[in-house]
């Protein structure tokens, strides 16, 4: 807020605290789960309705599994198993 040329802080009671829950990689948690380009139903949950790949920030995947997942989605698109 700006008053008389100075910035003032909100009172402590007016501030909200946001707690983000730590996302856990589904593939690290369940070792039996496999990323496969032929598993169209499994890949569809990681693709938005416009066809974009969901980022790891939203999906909660670790870097290793996010890379494998994006490669599998690209392969499935190339073979026309998934739409663009």
27 assigned to some structural domain? no
Distance CA 32, CA 54 (A): 22
81 assigned to some structural domain? yes
Give the per-residue pLDDT at 10.
65
Q: Provide the domain count of the chain.
A: 1
pLDDT tops 70 at residue 13: no
62 assigned to some structural domain? yes
48 assigned to some structural domain? yes
16 assigned to some structural domain? no
Name the DSSP letter for residue 54: P
pLDDT tops 60 at residue 8: yes
pLDDT tops 60 at residue 2: no
22 assigned to some structural domain? no
4 assigned to some structural domain? no
Domain that holds residue 48: 39-84
pTM, full prediction: 0.73
Instruction: Please answer whether residues 48 and 82 qualify as being in contact, where contact means their C-beta atoms are separated by less than 8 angstroms.
Output: no
- The residue with greater pLDDT, 78 or 84, is 78
- The residue with greater pLDDT, 24 or 6, is 24
CATH code where residue 59 lies = 4.10.640.10
């Amino acid at each position: 807020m700006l008053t008389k040329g100075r910035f003032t802080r909100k009172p402590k009671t007016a501030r909200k605290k946001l707690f983000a829950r730590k996302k856990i990689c589904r593939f690290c948690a369940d070792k039996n789960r496999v990323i496969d380009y032929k598993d169209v139903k499994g890949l569809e949950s990681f693709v938005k309705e416009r066809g974009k790949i969901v980022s790891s920030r939203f999906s909660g995947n670790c870097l290793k599994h996010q890379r494998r997942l994006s490669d599998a989605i690209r392969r499935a698109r190339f073979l026309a198993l998934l739409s663009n």
